[in-house]
Amino acid sequence: MLETRYCLACAAIALPFATPVAAQKAGDIQVKAFVTGVLPDGAIAEVETDLIGLPPGSQTEASDSVVPTVAIEYFASPNFSLETICCVTPHDVRGAGALAGAELIDDAIILPASLTAKYHFNLGGGFKPYVGAGATYFMIFSENAGADAAALGATDVDLSDEFGFLLQGGVDIALNQRGLGLSLNAKRYFVGTTATFRAGQTVALQSEHDLNPWVVSAGLAYRF
């Protein structure tokens, strides 16, 4: 009898904290505000033109960036959604290997226009992991020749805009029944760019680079 009373008392105490989670439905929209880390590679995949004479073992790397991002997601069904993101990320390109420490490109801004299709697994209790895949178009602008590239005669540098694709996984965790949640997300982009350094009108150096960034995000979501 004492055990029965104890269980009833526990249930009475827990009841106010047991928040039911509203089910997602077709037509729902979810907005997410993230803090995002962008971790690109930037390695040289191929050198196409080299009038400078790069030393053997020359390599490059792009700097990481931490930025605010916003994602907007549309649910076509309770388990299937389409998502796009909005952000710009600044990066510098520095030498590695035989070029270690060289300042090659300053202040490159990347706008990754992306659309992903996601499948959500409903495990109950407001815990919904998901996987997704999609396409992206990297628009790169504002890049300038770094100090060491300029010292070698580079007057201009251009990083080409490119199409690519991405894979992602993450989880949405409901915090209440009014649509507020916590969202964790990781994406891997597969995309490159062509770097072209000019001395006046002459292409002095042109190389293909693998960017392939990891993009990891954490933040709050609101569904309505």
Domain boundaries, the chain: 23-223
The pLDDT of residue 20 is: 46
pLDDT of residue 26: 78
How many distinct helices (H) and strands (E) make up the chain?
2, 15
Full pLDDT tens readout for the chain, 224 residues: 433 333 333 333 333 333 444 556 778 999 999 999 999 999 999 999 999 889 999 999 999 999 999 999 999 999 999 999 989 999 999 999 999 999 999 999 999 999 999 999 988 888 999 999 999 999 999 999 999 999 988 999 999 999 999 999 999 999 998 889 999 999 999 999 999 999 999 999 999 999 999 999 999 999 99
CATH top-level class of 23-223: mainly beta
Q: Which of 221, 115, 108 has its CA nearest to residue 173?
A: 221
Sheet holding 156-159, edge to edge: 43-50, 202-210, 192-199, 156-159
pLDDT given at position 7: 37
What integer pLDDT is reported at residue 27 of this predicted model? 84
How is residue 176 annotated by DSSP? S
Q: What are the distances in angstroms from CA 182 to CA 32, 70, 82?
A: 9, 14, 18
pLDDT at 141: 95
Closest CA to 153 of 85, 77, 67, 53: 53
Q: Which residues contact 50 (CB under 8 A, 6 or more apart)?
A: 205, 207
Decide if 106 contacts 143 (C-beta within 8 A).
yes
* pLDDT at residue 50 in the model: 94
